[in-house]
Structure 1
Amino acid sequence: MNQPEFIIRKATENDAELIFNLIKKLAIYEKMENDVITTAEQLKENIFKNNFAEVVIAEENSKPVGFALYFFNFSTFLGKPGLYLEDLYVEENHRGKGYGKKLLLHLAKIAKEKNCGRMEWSVLNWNEPAINFYESLGAKGMKEWTVYRLDKETIADLVK
């Protein structure tokens, strides 16, 4: 049997609907389905027109099987950019083939090319498979840091 052809390609504006559908699948996996309020049109605007994030698509035999969405931040202590991985998702029936690792290595290569001082992401505390996967690659949990968030309503209240 032939080995499937696997590629990672940069997403284009034409992929907005695909990205939206993959985000919905990720949200179902993360038990956060009701939190997805974006639209494909909003993704097209903010990713491809405003350039707030970048996306790569993983394909097996020319069919999408996953994605990674990332953006660059900046470390004042390092004086360098960092690559922040917002989402990485591989379709359930394609897990275990090494595609998640290939996506992460692809991003690590981008981080190296951009001279990033680090690569970071968040993982849900209950997501043992993801935690084990990341730790197997040498990633370390930042136990001394706590994530804080202001939502849209709180931001609006602050700037009245």
Structure 2
Amino acid sequence: MTDLHIAPATPADVPMILQLIRELAEFERLLHEVTATEEQLRKVLFGPKPSAEVIMGRLQPGGEVAGFALFFHNFSTFLARPGIYLEDLYVRQQFRGRGFGEQLLRHLARLAVERDCGRLEWSVLDWNQRAIDFYKSLGAVPMNEWTMYRVTGPALQKLGAAIAAVDDGDRK
């Protein structure tokens, strides 16, 4: 019998975390967008002010990594409570269909309850019907009336520069 042991990642896991991120990006057809490095991950996950957390799912016995989840806290003004935003949930191809994704999600739900969070949320690519069906089977509800927006790269730099110029003008 193979069990999944779920535990917080450690700095020693950083190379594997980056490998899993790349595997996920390849699955999502977005590998060309991955610029993360081990150094960056080490800083944001284990530095003086961590921005995110990772849990690792390892097979027992043996310790082989089957998957991971990367998440961080957000906040709901309507609930006046923190939440957990699941950025990435990934189970490696050879371990899918064994309930490991559900175990990782249940672990995060337990963390959310323990931390008095008001919700656990995530995004899913609209073409990933298998994942959509899986999430719905667990009671997740799509937020169909919401559209996610993103500013990145040069557009983020330009937007930030425009705001900085306004802020600097207010100080003069």
Length-normalised TM-score, structure 2:
0.90
Q: Which amino acid aligns with 2:154?
A: E
1:10-29 matches, cutoff 5 A? 10-29=8-27
Which residue matches 2:164?
Answer: none
Give the 4+ runs in structure 1 shifted more than 3 A.
Answer: none
Mapping 1:47-126, distance limit 5 Å: 47-49=45-47, 50-60=49-59, 61=61, 62-126=63-127
1:129 match: 130
**How far 1:159 moved relative to its partner?**
2.7
**Equivalent position of 1:146 in the other structure:** 147
Give the aligned residue type for 1:31: R
Measured after TM superposition, the shift of residue 45 of structure 1 is 0.7
Unpaired runs of at least 5, structure 2:
162-172
The AA in structure 1 aligned to 2:100 is Y
For 1:6, the aligned partner's letter is: L
TM-score (structure 1 length as normaliser): 0.96
CA RMSD, 1 decimal? 0.8
For 2:108, give the aligned amino acid: L
CA shift for structure 1 position 132: 0.5
Alignment partners' CA distance in 2, 1:97 and 1:12 = 25
* Paired positions, count: 158
How high is the sequence identity, in percent, across the aligned residues? Answer: 47
- Equivalent residue of 1:159, what SS? helix
Point out the structure with max Rg over C-alpha: 2
Report the counterpart of residue 8 of structure 1 in structure 2.
6
Q: Secondary structure at 1:38's aligned position in 2?
A: coil
SS of alignment partner, residue 22 of structure 1: helix
Paired AA for residue 37 in structure 1:
T
Alpha-carbon distance in 2 for matches of 1:88, 1:76: 25
- Structure 1 gap ranges (5+): none
